[in-house]
Structure 1
């Protein structure tokens, strides 16, 4: 699996309230995306980013982080071959992301995703 980036997903009760802190205090002032239940805030200078999640809209559990990969279909095949627990099956979401969730050793839920143009 070729990982492109890793993004922390922070569970928050209110994205707007939490977004103000991350944008104004922490300097992640560019809101790259906001679907109402998930939003990504990024530093315009460094590219550092965080995602805020108030409850995943289509998955049975929230993920602790998102691992963006070069080829999500190949990653899914690797995960299945390794016998890793799949929490959410491979799907293409209506917002253009193809993803699946796994449970890592220790219990962390990981969203493995590929963004399509």
Structure 2
């Protein structure tokens, strides 16, 4: 039985991860060995891996989908911090409110809240 799946994002500058994943999204530093830094929280979640031909409404497929309970607040933080929003906040017909943003490493991230 799979217990968890961890995403590893390659970077040459670990410090950039803190602004986006810790300061904006509110994750905690769970591990820091200098060459790898892991962010997370104490929430239990289902193990899921998605495969897609598109990101919904003919958008690009994002690397990560991050579900939050405060998507509008996160959207404002992302705008204020100057991150590139590639798909503005929208209520989708499959029951989510979401937006796409490029993280500090250029990865496309889908931030969503179920509505």
Bucket of the pairwise TM-score, normalised by the shorter protein: 0.5 to 0.7
Give the CA deviation at 1:62: 1.5
Instruction: Report the TM-score when normalising by structure 2.
Output: 0.58
Show structure 2 runs of 5+ residues with no match.
1-23, 28-44
More strand by share: 1
Instruction: Report the TM-score when normalising by structure 1.
Output: 0.57
| Equivalent residue number for residue 69 of structure 2 | 70
Show structure 1 runs of 5+ residues with no match.
5-45
Superposed structure 1 runs of 4+ greater than 6 Å apart: none
Give the CA deviation at 1:2: 5.1
| Equivalent residue number for residue 107 of structure 2 | 108
Give the CA deviation at 1:48: 1.1
Q: How does 1:33-44 map to 2 (within 5 A)?
A: none
Larger displacement relative to structure 2 (105-114 or 53-62): 53-62
Question: Is the CA contact (8 Å cut-off) linking 1:63 and 1:110 kept in structure 2?
Answer: yes
